[in-house]
Amino acid sequence: MHEKYNGTKIENPDEWMNPKDIAELMLYILNLPKKIEVSEITINRKS
């Protein structure tokens, strides 16, 4: 949440991903029907 895809640190907190948004996404995924398997997730912040 505090790094770019290449590992570079994002110094400005205004550019960090919101942990609440990530938590909501994870809860959504965890509550999907058991017949659905999520094998990979990529999360990118919009500019």
pLDDT per residue, tens digit, the chain (47 aa), is 666 667 788 777 777 788 899 999 999 999 999 999 999 998 887 76
Cβ neighbours of residue 1 closer than 8 Å, sequence gap 6 or more? 16, 17, 19, 22
DSSP characters over 1-47 = --B-TTS-B---GGGSPPHHHHHHHHHHHHTS-TT------------
Cβ–Cβ under 8 Å, residues 25 and 43: yes
pTM of structure = 0.66
Residue 43's pLDDT is what? 85
Range of the domain at 28: 1-47
- The Cα 24–Cα 30 span in angstroms is 10
Count: domains in the chain: 1
